[in-house]
Chains A and B, each alone.
Chain A
Amino acid sequence: MSLTIPKVLIIDDLFGRDVPSRYNRERENLCGKFLLSEIPQKGISKSSRFEISDPVAHVVFYRGQIPSTSGVGAVVENDLQSSLEIVRAGWSDALEKGEIPWAMVLLDLCFYTGRVTEESNRRTLGMPEGRPGDDEPSNYFGLTLLDAIHQEFPELPIFILSSKPREEVSLEFSKRGALGFIDRSDIRGPELLQEALWHHGLLPDPTGEIVGNSLQLLLALRKARQAAKLRENVLIRGELGTGKELMAKYIHRVSSTANSSKHEELVTMDASHLTPEMFSSEMFGIKPRTATGVDGNIGWIEVANGSDLFLDEVANMRPDVQPGFLRVLQNRKITPVGSRKTKSIDVRFISASNAFLENETKFKPDLLDRLRLGGTIWLPPLRERKTDIPLLVEGFIREAEGKQVAMRREITPEALDLLMNHNWPGNIRELRTCIFGAVSSHPDVEHLVPAHIQLINYSVQDPKNIIPNIQLNEPQTQKQHAKISNSIDDFLEIMNSFNFDHLGKNQLMGNLGDLEYSFAWFLARYLNASIDETRKGQSIENPKGNILYTPAFTLIAGDPYLSPDFSKKQIRRLLEPLKDELTDDLLELYEVIKDPKKKSIKKHPINKLPRKRSIRRIQ
């Protein structure tokens, strides 16, 4: 797993002070002990005698006092305001800019003040004598800092990092909002800090599968890591398109990492497809040779045993299936169909829903409680984490370009502004569709400008029945015509420049590649436009609607009596030469067309799945 190294701030009088003409030896030792890689700050020297091969965190040190450098005769005073400023710079300022904020702030307790004397300077360079009371737990400046930071930045994780006895302040720091205490002299230094950061710090997904640094997302990721540790059932909630399945994969992945177990695939199923008739056989499996002609089958729960089972669309689970499911959650036992032996199971159910389950009269409250025993993770809608849009857009552009990209596209600030100002009712899925559309529709531009962006405005009366009302920046027909006319232009240009006159039929054979390719693209574009014109069944789950290939081909062929089979054959013939370069829509269509067994481009319901299951794997 590649790691994004977290950034922490340490406010400490000893380790944060600057030492003139040499490095701060105490700070260097602390970095070496906790495996911290220092980010040099203006006026503060950097440790230099060693390199850390695998740092636990990047760290910024701050003294929390003025002056930052103090020689003999100087008077050192605590400085709350400048401390708050440095916290703010790496927290609220960073969040506003979409940068990774402090993962955690670590505070010392006791800050010594007063005059730096010859004697105090001899003991520790630049440190003052200390005033009566500095050393008293009731007067610790660290607790004053904690109060002020927690009040201004309540979501910022704060830990105490001190070599003072924990019991002296455990009640005080808990009351004031610190999340824990790390004993600076504890021999397990790096491991303690790593654990504190993992469970309490705000860390982006190190694999980059879940993209973003916004506070709302980081809080959700932290909640997911905390839930993953418990191994109890988890419920993921959020609007459509917020990335609930990705979050389920994240929980599954971090659990595997934490348990040092082999990273196995996450078993995924759509809860809405379960019917009472096939519930037992699908979930519990069928014992071999139960009846003539019936093959044995391992149920989903057994497939996921010892790991996780992801239940998507749990709100749509039929009421007549829920009691059976509740029994499994309560008893943790299953009995395969045709068997008399029960099997104990150890499965964590990770469920996802976009509905407000508490208000769903058809959803059993006790089932809901069982499903969220290990916690509920709320995924923020994209409109509440807009600072993540630039990162998401960048990722989607690269994804849309694919591996065969000849050029690297950029998005202009104006186009990005357009995206930032949109409300994104369809959330990340809508943004992805938008970016993929922009890239695939403009394969030859290096800069995506506002004219390339098509935004879909949803009506939002009822979140469960959001029907997209497609409004383009410019009329859709003009847009499609523009795309087609580009292809016509290409085609005509090649035709005009092609030298037919002096070549016989035999010579032409094999030399028509460019022309054929250009013509195929022209027709493919035309087909793409007709697909968009003839789509049906748009909904919030499926904002683009379903592709209807016969009406689409009818539109370009101009013949109202075409059979579905004929349309299929023609489309297959048309797309075959371009199969490696198709846009998403055409690729989806091609996949359906080329497989004669497939009748629909919708996902297969669970009761139509082949017996030999292929389980989706997480990479």
Chain B
Amino acid sequence: MNFLGDCMEDISSKWQRRRSDFNHQWLKNRLLSALDCGANFLQGRLQGTGYLEDVILIEVREWTERRKDLDELLNDFEYEMSPSRLLDTPPLCDWEPNIKSVIAELIHKLWIVRYPVKEWVETARKAVSEVNQEYDFLTVINPTNENGQVNFEFISHYELFRAACRSLSKTIEKFPHQVLVT
């Protein structure tokens, strides 16, 4: 049992680490943290100049790079977290290749049927699409108007973008944290 557990840990750790890099390290700890901080600016709890512009310029614009990582992560999910990966590790990897391919296909189909694998990915893609949409709005609006006051339209899209990012994070959180075999 421990051996199987170790195998599953090992085969899933790469995808889990990539997810952690995206969702934990970047989306939550960097982007959402910066957006929440910016929201405190908009509510008058923080004072200073140029912070919101920096958030858009540095943290928000990084989305265009990070979403590529996310696309790959979502594309790889079905295969990388499939229990059929167990057949790539000892001792199952020593099976006859033709038997292994049949079994692997069977295990993979069972995994897709028994768990909402496609649905997880689809839901995540929809969440990505919402973030994309709000990103496009947000990045073309100036945070402040000519008088230096915060632009009302900016506030509205800022909050929508923040909500979309938070929703995306929760969606990604829902993906399984280990290979599901039961």
The answer to whether B33 touches A26 (Cβ under 8 A) is yes
B36 at the interface (CB under 8 A from A): yes
With the chains together, A164 CA to B177 CA distance in Å? 11
Q: Which are the 6 A-B pairs with shortest beta-carbon distances?
A: A32-B37, A50-B48, A163-B28, A33-B36, A29-B33, A185-B28
With the chains together, A30 CA to B13 CA distance in Å? 28
A49, A136, A168, A184: the one within 8 Å of B33 (CB): A184
Q: Is the interface of A mostly helix, strand, loop or mixed?
A: loop
The answer to whether A187 touches B13 (Cβ under 8 A) is no
The answer to whether A49 touches B45 (Cβ under 8 A) is no
Chain A residues whose CB sits within 8 angstroms of the CB of B109 once the complex forms: none
With the chains together, A478 CA to B43 CA distance in Å? 68
How far apart are A51's CB and chain B's nearest CB, in angstroms? 5
How far apart are A239's CB and chain B's nearest CB, in angstroms? 44
B54 at the interface (CB under 8 A from A): yes
The answer to whether A51 touches B46 (Cβ under 8 A) is yes
Not counting A50-B46, A135-B16, a sample of 11 additional A-B residue pairs whose C-beta atoms are within 8 angstroms of each other reads: A29-B33, A29-B34, A32-B37, A32-B38, A32-B40, A49-B48, A50-B51, A110-B24, A123-B21, A132-B13, A163-B28
A43 at the interface (CB under 8 A from B): no
The answer to whether B24 touches A163 (Cβ under 8 A) is yes
B67 at the interface (CB under 8 A from A): no
Which B positions have Cβ atoms within 8 angstroms of A?
9-10, 13, 16-17, 20-21, 24-26, 28-30, 32-34, 36-38, 40-41, 44-48, 50-51, 54, 58-59, 166, 169, 173, 177
With the chains together, A25 CA to B26 CA distance in Å? 12
A542 at the interface (CB under 8 A from B): no
Chain B residues whose CB sits within 8 angstroms of the CB of A35 once the complex forms: 40, 45-46
Listed residue (A29, A30, A53, A190) with the most chain B CB atoms within 10 angstroms of its CB:
A29
Known: A33-B40, A136-B9. A26 touches B51 (CB 8 A): no
With the chains together, A14 CA to B30 CA distance in Å? 10
The answer to whether B173 touches A135 (Cβ under 8 A) is no
Known: A32-B46, A50-B48. A123 touches B26 (CB 8 A): yes
The answer to whether B47 touches A184 (Cβ under 8 A) is no
Q: Is the interface of B mostly helix, strand, loop or mixed?
A: helix
A174 at the interface (CB under 8 A from B): no
With the chains together, A30 CA to B40 CA distance in Å? 11
Q: Which residue of A lies closest to B178 (CB)?
A: A136
How far apart are A63's CB and chain B's nearest CB, in angstroms? 14
The answer to whether B29 touches A184 (Cβ under 8 A) is yes
Q: Which residue of B lies closest to A14 (CB)?
A: B29
A130 at the interface (CB under 8 A from B): yes
Listed residue (A53, A135, A168) with the most chain B CB atoms within 10 angstroms of its CB:
A135
**What class of interface size applies to chain A in its complex with B?**
20 to 34
25 A–B pairs (Cβ distance < 8 Å), ordered by A: A14-B25, A14-B29, A25-B58, A26-B33, A29-B34, A29-B36, A29-B37, A31-B37, A32-B51, A50-B51, A52-B46, A123-B21, A123-B26, A124-B25, A127-B25, A135-B16, A135-B17, A163-B24, A163-B28, A163-B29, A164-B24, A165-B173, A165-B177, A168-B177, A187-B36
A189 at the interface (CB under 8 A from B): yes
A444 at the interface (CB under 8 A from B): no
With the chains together, A49 CA to B53 CA distance in Å? 12
How far apart are B3's CB and chain A's nearest CB, in angstroms? 16
A366 at the interface (CB under 8 A from B): no
The answer to whether A189 touches B36 (Cβ under 8 A) is yes
Known: A14-B25, A165-B173. A51 touches B45 (CB 8 A): no
With the chains together, A31 CA to B36 CA distance in Å? 10
With the chains together, A50 CA to B34 CA distance in Å? 13
Chain B residues whose CB sits within 8 angstroms of the CB of A28 once the complex forms: 37
How far apart are A101's CB and chain B's nearest CB, in angstroms? 27
Known: A51-B47, A51-B48. A32 touches B41 (CB 8 A): yes
With the chains together, A107 CA to B13 CA distance in Å? 24
Q: Which residue of B lies closest to A185 (CB)?
A: B28
Which positions 1-59 of chain A face chain B at CB distance < 8 Å? 14, 25-26, 28-33, 35, 49-54
Chain B residues whose CB sits within 8 angstroms of the CB of A185 once the complex forms: 28, 32-33, 166, 169
Known: A32-B37, A35-B40, A49-B51. A26 touches B29 (CB 8 A): yes
Chain B residues whose CB sits within 8 angstroms of the CB of A184 once the complex forms: 28-29, 33
Which positions 191-210 of chain A face chain B at CB distance < 8 Å? none
The answer to whether A33 touches B37 (Cβ under 8 A) is yes
Which positions 89-136 of chain A face chain B at CB distance < 8 Å? 110, 123-124, 127, 130, 132, 135-136
Chain B residues whose CB sits within 8 angstroms of the CB of A124 once the complex forms: 25-26, 30
Q: Which residue of A lies closest to B24 (CB)?
A: A163
Chain A residues whose CB sits within 8 angstroms of the CB of B48 once the complex forms: 49-51
Q: Which residue of B lies closest to A108 (CB)?
A: B29
With the chains together, A164 CA to B169 CA distance in Å? 11
Chain A residues whose CB sits within 8 angstroms of the CB of B38 once the complex forms: 32
Q: Which residue of A lies closest to B66 (CB)?
A: A123
Chain B residues whose CB sits within 8 angstroms of the CB of A187 once the complex forms: 36, 166
With the chains together, A486 CA to B132 CA distance in Å? 87
Chain B residues whose CB sits within 8 angstroms of the CB of A26 once the complex forms: 29-30, 33
How far apart are B39's CB and chain A's nearest CB, in angstroms? 8
With the chains together, A320 CA to B45 CA distance in Å? 58
The answer to whether A130 touches B17 (Cβ under 8 A) is yes
Chain A residues whose CB sits within 8 angstroms of the CB of B13 once the complex forms: 132, 135
With the chains together, A136 CA to B9 CA distance in Å? 9
Which positions 130-164 of chain A face chain B at CB distance < 8 Å? 130, 132, 135-136, 163-164
Chain A residues whose CB sits within 8 angstroms of the CB of B10 once the complex forms: 132
With the chains together, A583 CA to B44 CA distance in Å? 51
Chain A residues whose CB sits within 8 angstroms of the CB of B34 once the complex forms: 25, 29
Chain B residues whose CB sits within 8 angstroms of the CB of A135 once the complex forms: 13, 16-17, 20
